[in-house]
Amino acid sequence: MIKPKILILGAGYGGLMTAINLQKRLRSRDAEITLVNKNSYHYETTWLHEASAGNLKPEQVRYEIKDVLHKKIIFKQATVEKIDIHYKSVQTNQGELYYDYLVVALGFEGETFGIDGLDKYTFGITNVNDARKIRDHIHTQFAEWASQELFEKDDALLTIVVGGAGFTGIEFIGELANKVPELCREYDVPREKVRIICVEAAPSILPMFSETLVNYAVDVLTDKGIEFSVGTPVVQATKEGVKIKKGPNQFDFIKAGTVVWAAGVRGPRVVEESDLPSRRARVAVEEDLSVPGYQHIFMVGDCAFLVNRETERPYPPTAQIAVQQANTVARNLVALVKGKETKPFIPDLKGTVCSLGGSDAISNAFGKEITGKTAYIMKKVIDNRALYLIGGLGLVLKKGKLNPFK
């Protein structure tokens, strides 16, 4: 009997979790399962802000994909270049692959909204290499300042602008706030010379949290020396910094040695360039997460678009949703292989925890508002749980955040 070919693109939270689920639910003789990913490793995207600030080593946020897969899953390290839904084929830089069932879990790219200069002059927190570049760049700026003559020092080298006060921007700022004192000691920089400015277009920060939690976050970060500029969209980025709009015909220019753009994500271009029906590279899916008209193609994670019927708002692009969607897609693939009906995606939303650096965080998980150390410990439990779901206790012991004080 010819085995159906299941092809999974991307080994982030969505893709890797789909593969792990399938290896538990299908036997080798049921299907040929191939997982394709650009790198040989999976990285914890939700930890990248820590690596970007230099508080975690890049090695700690990643692990080899082969180490968590059984032999029945074929892993192929390759970059997906084209998805052809008519010929059921996927072109990669390592050759062409064919499928009977396809899972697209290629994650996200930074969204620049067409703002002039963002592509060229800012950093994005999207993968391990970006995180390394940000960390190294900040060190270089501090080192450059330290090497300048006393009366010729360019303090703008020590200014870091973070565009976007959503989840990623705030978590990164929290990490930076904690890192700066260490950098100041290392490079003999007076702390007051360093500016970290969070620029946000919307009138407030962290829209997913209540006013009480937002106020707590702002107080904590302001106490650590973070400046906020809200309701002031970035309109241009240059080599020297960013131009922001402060009112009708009123602009300001912030000179900065480092600008990190964390204000929005879109799906990957390879999805947009395929014949999949996408908007901002995200594909609106059916309730069972299949692509309309293509019951054998599923979208998982940040490149899937689905509206929550209760709130009538789209599910946000989060790891929590990606993992839960992966469980549904794996079950639906097993159903299709066995000639059964697929089932709808029913999420179990547990709320969100946003870290503020150090041992501080805010949380609205499980319907309760929590701040400080308790929320921070909750965040660690979530981070370790993500490892546990993929690689069990062994992976938690190898890569987990096991020190409750750090």
Ligand X SMILES: Cc1cc2nc3c(=O)[nH]c(=O)nc-3n(C[C@H](O)[C@H](O)[C@H](O)COP(=O)(O)OP(=O)(O)OC[C@H]3O[C@@H](n4cnc5c(N)ncnc54)[C@H](O)[C@@H]3O)c2cc1C
User: Is residue 268 close enough to count as binding ligand X by CB under 6 A?
Assistant: yes
Q: Pick the binder of ligand X from 159, 302, 387, 391 (CB under 6 A).
A: 302
CA 405 and chain centroid, separation: 25
Query: In 206-306, which ranges are E strands?
Result: 226-230, 234-237, 241-247, 250-255, 258-261, 265-266, 278-279, 282-284, 290-291, 294-299, 304-305
User: Is residue 322 close enough to count as binding ligand X by CB under 6 A?
Assistant: yes
Q: Pick the binder of ligand X from 8, 173, 226, 319 (CB under 6 A).
A: 319
- Smaller CB separation from ligand X, 166 or 241: 166
- Smaller CB separation from ligand X, 162 or 180: 162
CB of 260 within 8 A of CB of 52? yes
- Smaller CB separation from ligand X, 189 or 265: 265
Q: Pick the binder of ligand X from 3, 30, 39, 372 (CB under 6 A).
A: 39
- Smaller CB separation from ligand X, 78 or 235: 78
User: Is residue 241 close enough to count as binding ligand X by CB under 6 A?
Assistant: no
- Smaller CB separation from ligand X, 32 or 302: 302
Give the shortest CB-206-to-ligand X separation in angstroms.
12
User: Is residue 283 close enough to count as binding ligand X by CB under 6 A?
Assistant: no
Instruction: Name the segment binding ligand X (CB under 6 A); options: 106-114, 156-164, 280-288, 357-365.
Output: 106-114
Residue 383 neighbours by CB under 8 Å, 6+ apart: 44, 46, 47, 400, 401
Q: Pick the binder of ligand X from 38, 72, 133, 373 (CB under 6 A).
A: 38
User: Is residue 125 close enough to count as binding ligand X by CB under 6 A?
Assistant: yes
Environment class of residue 231 by beta-carbon count within 10 Å: exposed (0-12), middle (13-18) or buried (19+)?
middle
How far apart, in whole angstroms, are the C-alpha atoms of residue 10 and residue 77? 10
Q: Residue 273 has which token pair?
A: 């360039």
Name which of 309, 316, 347, 352 is nearest 329 in CA terms: 347
Instruction: Name the segment binding ligand X (CB under 6 A); options: 32-40, 68-76, 215-223, 359-367.
Output: 32-40
Q: Pick the binder of ligand X from 6, 26, 80, 242 (CB under 6 A).
A: 80
**Catalytic residue flag (residue 171):** yes
Q: Could you give phi then psi for residue 340, rounded to 5 degrees? A: -110, 175
Q: Pick the binder of ligand X from 45, 324, 327, 332 (CB under 6 A).
A: 45
Q: Which residue of the set 50, 111, 171, 200 is catalytic?
A: 171
User: Is residue 229 close enough to count as binding ligand X by CB under 6 A?
Assistant: no
DSSP symbols for 327-357: HHHHHHHHHHHTT-------------EEE-S
Pure H helices in 26-127: 48-53, 118-121
Residues forming the active site = 171
